[in-house]
Chains A and B, each alone.
Chain A
Amino acid sequence: MSILTSLLLLPLFGALVVGFLPASNAKLVKQVALAFSLLVTLVSIVMALSFDRNNSAMQFTEVRTWISAFNINYAVGIDGMALVLILMTTILVPVVFLAGWSESENGRWNVKVFYILLLILETMMIGVFSATDVFLFYVIFEAMLLPVYFLIGGYGSGERAAAAMKFLLYSLFGGLLMLAAVIGLYIISVNQGGATFDIARLSQLSIDSTTQNWLFLGFFIAFAIKAPLWPFHTWLPTAAKSATAGTSTLLLGVLDKVGTYGMIRFCMSFFPDATKTFTPAIITLAVISILYGAFLAIGQKDINSLIAFTSISHFGFITLGIFALTSQSLTGAIFYMVNHGFGTAALFLTAGWMIKRRGSSQIADFGGLQRVAPVLAWSFFIAGLSALALPGLSSFVSEFLVLLGAFAKYPVAAILGTLGIILAALYVLLAVQRAIHGETPASSAGISDLNLREKIAIAPVIAILVLLGFYPKPALEVINPTTQTIMTNAGVSDPVAKVVK
């Protein structure tokens, strides 16, 4: 059993242990769940340390027969891209546990169910990034919707049932389209002599261009709903508004990354020709997402909706970086996925604390937070700065790389994208000004500052944002080999700059 499999099973085992604890002892349940999530973090760090960054092949692989009739295997393995996303996941889960210590107490069900769902979700989040069998990926991709569905519907606020339903229906619709494409891909492999779901072998199939286009769309629409790209985004703001801060963090920070991850892992490597065919259209959608998300973010009155729309804008950047298909923009996009995960976590968690203390999620209800709760206000401020990609924070590095790479090939798209950065400054600073600065209204005077637990939760997130902002090398070094492999597979090379003498 490889270390990756143990990493996968650990949260599941944790869920089982939590299941046997007495539901009445909420504190014990939380502590055990936290302990397991920290253990998972530890194991994932150990795994990362033994990861060979010069090797571009899949590492820690393990293959076991699952359904022999279709040659479906339990096959896992990670490359640099998967590694950074898994690390992000395993770090965010304990942060979410700590940050939302009492989130689980106002739900329809008891505390235990909350942590069981989250731990099961963690296994699936790690699994979805490490699956190297398309069928296994698909199964996790679909199955992981259910814990989120129950987390939003059971522990959220407001129109939570409707939000959960909308989320699930959108995702399942995309998933079913993908199922048809997965089946199509499998049958092509059968016809070409070897039934397989193995990603590496599937990317070597020769598929005619019409079929490629259809199958590409089957995968892409599913991922675009997940990511979410305009016009498939409408489920996101409602879900983010109703879910708890922790659920939103994992939903936007990790689950939605499966969309962009899938575009790279599946769309590009299986259908290189179709990728080229659809690139102009997708770049257009990406730019629309960047601007649309940014404009709508400016107008939001609700903090969570604001964060959701900023994310739509940021996913536009990621998609732009992916489909610009230069090594800079692709590396930037993968790095962006990680930074966006931590940045969104910081935003949702601080916003969650503000909302909980004030009892309202309207930006207008806050003000002068700086005076009464300086640490909370500063954390929110830094999170906001990360969203607007301030130099010195990691998101700057990735946004810069994306735009730089994209400019070489699609200058117009890159310039329009840059507009998104300006708009980002506007929506972040407006919100920060209204919520944090100015006079403290009487209604906000009683807001208390972060306690020790909350400080411990937010500290690693901010530390990572700053550290990777000044010293992104370790992350980029891990990501680079993956980028090169993808570029080679897709058969593209970087545009050579014209040399003027």
Chain B
Amino acid sequence: MLSAPNLDYALLAPIMIILGGALIGVLIEAFAKPAWRARLQLVISLAAIVISFNQLVRVRNDGSSIAAVTSVSVDGAGMFLQGAILIFAFLGILVIADQDNFAPQASALPGSAEEAAAIQAGKQQTEVFPLTMFAVAGMMLFPVATDYITLFVALEVLSLPLYLMAGLSRRRRLLSQEAALKYFLLGAYSSAFFLFGAALLYGYSGTISLNGLTDAIRGNTGNDVFLLLGIIFLSVGLLFKVGAVPFHSWKPDVYQGAPTPITGFMAAATKAAAFGATLRIFYLGLDAAQTSWKPFIAVISVITMIVGSLAAISQRDMKRMLAYSSIAHAGFVLTAIVSLSENALSASLFYLFAYGVATIGAFAIITIVRDSAGEVSDVNRWIGLGKKSPLVASVFSLFLLSFAGIPLTSGFVGKFSIFSAAYESGNITLVVVGVLSSAIAVFFYLRVILMLFFTDATTDSISVVIPSILTRISISISAIFTITLGIAPSLVFDIAQDFAYFLR
């Protein structure tokens, strides 16, 4: 006999509201007049995010490990990350709403007559809104999924729209399409790894749930070869998503090619979602087998920190530089996985939030530094920006200082808490490597600040366009968060601490 599954709709509602918003978005694309679409899409998306966030706040104390039978566990860490992703989405959509960044008709070949006609007709790219919302829904599901199938579905729901969105850039379209294709191929490859790992772990434990996996490891019932191979393949899939070395090669290309608002959103939200799932899998499912994977992840963490920091030094493109910086930051969060403690969990939750907000702000600023041909991401052409637009240059420097982990910014508190958790759990080597790679990283962040403020401009062709009110709001909120969390980190850190738990 088949009984209907028991679903806790209140806990699932935040995800469903976002999906509902996405579906309404699709209907708008089909039925609304082109002139209305952009505005309607924006309102619907933001409204869905706000309502979803509100619902999340309402159910914050009712965590349950059986929100959807045994497939979804809406618990503290999951809810915190869902909230963080919603905030990223809100800030991200404000920047995405600036239509100037997107190809009016993505299906038209670059340089073709159709493209010219689309630009001529003043067409606007509005499909990007529902695509973003679908991605957000996937991202919200990923960190709360507790079986391989749900994890995989969430992974695909969040990835597929991103592959498309990466190819939507209005300028340098070939680069953008190349990025989209690379992202898609490598992403599909890593999904296959993930699935293969899941299959092996299923073979080991005979169940698809993470809880079942823990029981099987504790009971020592299965064949360890399957377990070890399963862990490795599953890890590769996850490490690809978070951009750890040596699975990082897609990151610089995709970050550079994708439309900048998408890059910012993706860098913040995908990272939070992917780390959410990674944390859950390692803390919950594989906790009992920690001796077998800890050295592996520790080594990955070390090379990720070092390679990310070193490679960033030689970058000449702002977006590529931030991509490598994001790789180095992934290495820092990986140390929290190795630490495997409650403090490390709350530290990484705070870190992901602080880093994400600053990232969206930094990329939003890149969207408004332009010349006549569009965005300028060549670092050398930012020289002297501090003279022309001191405010923009100062805020951008603030974000860079936060990435560098200078005190009185949110990045410092994040770094401090991650390192102290790692030290506490005895991983002193990781702390030392982290500190040294931070020292390397400081160099390239400071070099940019030096260029902005202390070097005179040789050409005056770049300028800062007056940002739309929405982009301005997004940048301001990011900057306020970055400063406030540097001075009074308790505001978010205490929440992260309260929510730093996984339900079994």
Binding site for B on A (CB under 8 A): 66-70, 108-109, 138-140, 142-143, 146, 150, 153-154, 160-161, 164-165, 168-169, 172-173, 176-177, 179-180, 183-184, 186-187, 190
Chain A residue nearest to B437 (CB atoms) is A176
Q: Could you list 13 A-B pairs, sorted by A, with CB under 8 Å?
A: A67-B489, A68-B490, A69-B494, A69-B497, A108-B453, A143-B407, A161-B454, A165-B446, A165-B447, A165-B450, A172-B442, A177-B435, A184-B423
In the assembled complex, which residues on chain B have CB atoms less than 8 Å from the CB atom of A177?
A: 435
Contact B446 A169 (CB under 8 A): yes
Contact B454 A108 (CB under 8 A): yes
| C-alpha gap A179/B401 in the complex (Å) | 16
Known pairs A138-B407, A154-B454; A179 contacts B423 (CB<8 A): no
| C-alpha gap A186/B423 in the complex (Å) | 10
Contact A164 B454 (CB under 8 A): yes
Instruction: Specify which of A153, A161, A169, A187 is in contact with B420 (CB 8 Å cutoff).
Output: A187
Q: Does B69 contact A (CB under 8 A)?
A: no
Contact A180 B454 (CB under 8 A): no
| C-alpha gap A142/B417 in the complex (Å) | 17
Known pairs A68-B490, A69-B494, A153-B450; A180 contacts B432 (CB<8 A): yes
Contact B407 A139 (CB under 8 A): yes
Chain B residue nearest to A160 (CB atoms) is B454
Contact B493 A67 (CB under 8 A): yes
Contact A150 B406 (CB under 8 A): no
In the assembled complex, which residues on chain B have CB atoms less than 8 Å from the CB atom of A180?
A: 419, 423, 431-432, 435
CB distance from B381 to the nearest CB of A (A): 18
In the assembled complex, which residues on chain A have CB atoms less than 8 Å from the CB atom of B438?
A: 176
Instruction: Specify which of A68, A160, A190 is in contact with B494 (CB 8 Å cutoff).
Output: A68
Q: Does B455 contact A (CB under 8 A)?
A: yes
Contact B423 A183 (CB under 8 A): yes
In the assembled complex, which residues on chain A have CB atoms less than 8 Å from the CB atom of B465?
A: none
In the assembled complex, which residues on chain A have CB atoms less than 8 Å from the CB atom of B442?
A: 169, 172-173, 176
CB distance from A139 to the nearest CB of B (A): 4
In the assembled complex, which residues on chain B have CB atoms less than 8 Å from the CB atom of A173?
A: 439, 442
In the assembled complex, which residues on chain A have CB atoms less than 8 Å from the CB atom of B420?
A: 70, 183, 186-187
Q: Does B408 contact A (CB under 8 A)?
A: yes
In the assembled complex, which residues on chain B have CB atoms less than 8 Å from the CB atom of A70?
A: 417, 420
Instruction: Specify which of B413, B435, B454, B493 is in contact with A176 (CB 8 Å cutoff).
Output: B435
CB distance from B497 to the nearest CB of A (A): 6
Chain B residue nearest to A153 (CB atoms) is B454
CB distance from B99 to the nearest CB of A (A): 35
| C-alpha gap A179/B423 in the complex (Å) | 12
| C-alpha gap A68/B498 in the complex (Å) | 13
In the assembled complex, which residues on chain A have CB atoms less than 8 Å from the CB atom of B432?
A: 180
Interface size class of B (residues with CB under 8 A): 35 or more
In the assembled complex, which residues on chain B have CB atoms less than 8 Å from the CB atom of A183?
A: 416, 419-420, 423, 431
Binding site for A on B (CB under 8 A): 346, 386-387, 390, 401, 406-408, 412-413, 416-417, 419-420, 423-424, 428, 431-432, 435-436, 438-439, 442-443, 446-447, 450, 453-455, 488-490, 493-494, 497
In the assembled complex, which residues on chain A have CB atoms less than 8 Å from the CB atom of B406?
A: 142-143, 146, 172
| C-alpha gap A168/B453 in the complex (Å) | 15
CB distance from A88 to the nearest CB of B (A): 24
| C-alpha gap A69/B454 in the complex (Å) | 39
Contact A190 B455 (CB under 8 A): no
CB distance from B420 to the nearest CB of A (A): 5
| C-alpha gap A66/B455 in the complex (Å) | 38
Contact B424 A190 (CB under 8 A): yes
| C-alpha gap A183/B489 in the complex (Å) | 17
| C-alpha gap A67/B454 in the complex (Å) | 35
In the assembled complex, which residues on chain A have CB atoms less than 8 Å from the CB atom of B407?
A: 138-140, 142-143
| C-alpha gap A183/B442 in the complex (Å) | 19
Instruction: Specify which of A109, A143, A160 is in contact with B408 (CB 8 Å cutoff).
Output: A143
Chain A residue nearest to B493 (CB atoms) is A69
CB distance from B408 to the nearest CB of A (A): 5
In the assembled complex, which residues on chain A have CB atoms less than 8 Å from the CB atom of B419?
A: 179-180, 183
Contact A172 B450 (CB under 8 A): no
In the assembled complex, which residues on chain B have CB atoms less than 8 Å from the CB atom of A153?
A: 450, 453-454
Contact A187 B424 (CB under 8 A): yes
Chain A residue nearest to B432 (CB atoms) is A180
In the assembled complex, which residues on chain A have CB atoms less than 8 Å from the CB atom of B387?
A: 108
CB distance from B169 to the nearest CB of A (A): 34
| C-alpha gap A153/B449 in the complex (Å) | 11
Contact B423 A168 (CB under 8 A): no
| C-alpha gap A180/B356 in the complex (Å) | 24
Contact B446 A168 (CB under 8 A): yes
| Most chain B beta-carbon contacts within 10 A, residue among A68, A143, A173, A179 | A179
CB distance from B202 to the nearest CB of A (A): 39
Chain A residue nearest to B390 (CB atoms) is A109
Chain A residue nearest to B487 (CB atoms) is A66
Chain B residue nearest to A141 (CB atoms) is B407
Q: A69-B497, A165-B447 are in contact. List 20 more A-B contacts (CB 8 A).
A: A66-B490, A67-B413, A67-B490, A68-B490, A68-B494, A69-B417, A69-B493, A108-B387, A139-B407, A142-B407, A146-B401, A154-B454, A160-B454, A161-B454, A180-B431, A180-B432, A183-B416, A183-B431, A184-B428, A187-B423
| C-alpha gap A66/B417 in the complex (Å) | 15
Contact B435 A169 (CB under 8 A): no
Chain B residue nearest to A65 (CB atoms) is B490
In the assembled complex, which residues on chain B have CB atoms less than 8 Å from the CB atom of A160?
A: 454
The 3 closest A-B pairs by CB, nearest first: A161-B454, A139-B407, A153-B454
| C-alpha gap A139/B450 in the complex (Å) | 22
In the assembled complex, which residues on chain B have CB atoms less than 8 Å from the CB atom of A154?
A: 453-454
| C-alpha gap A70/B424 in the complex (Å) | 13
Instruction: Specify which of A109, A139, A169 is in contact with B443 (CB 8 Å cutoff).
Output: A169
In the assembled complex, which residues on chain A have CB atoms less than 8 Å from the CB atom of B431?
A: 180, 183
In the assembled complex, which residues on chain B have CB atoms less than 8 Å from the CB atom of A190?
A: 424
| C-alpha gap A416/B21 in the complex (Å) | 79
In the assembled complex, which residues on chain B have CB atoms less than 8 Å from the CB atom of A66?
A: 488, 490
| C-alpha gap A66/B453 in the complex (Å) | 33
Contact A69 B416 (CB under 8 A): no
CB distance from B384 to the nearest CB of A (A): 10
